[in-house]
């Protein structure tokens, strides 16, 4: 049985519930000490986005 395409990404069960709480950051933002990179998005060989997780559990998105 083929899966039906999901038109609304927020209905995607693979997306973490806290994805809606992610904060889009600008290049001037400082990443808190102790944060880890949890996701790197690469498009056509270039890094376009990094997602960091702070020690407090907050997710910070940096788009390039």
Render pLDDT for 4-36 as a digit per residue (tens, 0 to 9): 555 554 554 555 545 444 455 445 778 999 999
The answer to the question of residue 42 being in a domain is yes
Q: Is the CA virtual torsion 14, 16, 21, 22 positive or negative? A: negative
The answer to the question of residue 5 being in a domain is no
Are 34 and 54 spatial neighbours (Cβ–Cβ below 8 Å)?
yes
How far apart CA 34 and CA 56 sit, in angstroms, is 10
Q: How many domains does the chain have?
A: 1
Range of the domain at 52: 23-63
Give the predicted TM-score (pTM) of the model. Answer: 0.56
The answer to the question of residue 11 being in a domain is no
The answer to the question of residue 59 being in a domain is yes
How far apart CA 19 and CA 53 sit, in angstroms, is 12
The answer to the question of residue 34 being in a domain is yes
How far apart CA 63 and CA 43 sit, in angstroms, is 12
The answer to the question of residue 12 being in a domain is no
The answer to the question of residue 44 being in a domain is yes
The answer to the question of residue 43 being in a domain is yes
Among 6-10, 28-32, 37-41, 46-50, the minimum mean pLDDT is found in 6-10
């Amino acid at each position: 049985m083929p899966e039906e395409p999901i038109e609304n990404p927020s209905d995607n069960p693979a997306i973490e519930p806290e994805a809606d709480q992610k904060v889009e950051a600008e290049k001037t933002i400082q990443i808190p000490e102790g944060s880890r990179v949890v996701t790197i998005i690469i498009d056509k060989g270039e890094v376009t986005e990094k997602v960091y997780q702070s020690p407090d559990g907050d997710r910070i998105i940096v788009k390039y």
